[in-house]
Structure 1
């Protein structure tokens, strides 16, 4: 599972809160240590072609 979390304090706090939630911790990907935090700036497609849906 890939999770995008911005670097600002509010986003980080929200992610920490999520990580403590029992429902989150019960997900198979979480239990299997298969959650990967990625940088949204690298994953958001903001180039002209992606924005046009080409």
Structure 2
């Protein structure tokens, strides 16, 4: 994995694995946090999207 990604092995060991919902349902809380982080970093502009309206 380190060779394929170019990441140091120690970085990969410290990175928590992704956890997927068995039904592949998106986590609206996590998506909202991602949107907020991207906005705070100046990577998103415009009106905020209400994630709960998109994820059921």
What is the TM-score of this pair, normalised by structure 1?
0.28
Structure showing greater relative contact order (alpha-carbon pairs closer than 8 Å, 6 or more residues apart): 1
What is the TM-score of this pair, normalised by structure 2?
0.28
Which structure is larger by alpha-carbon Rg, 1 or 2?
A: 2
Structure with greater helix share of residues? 1
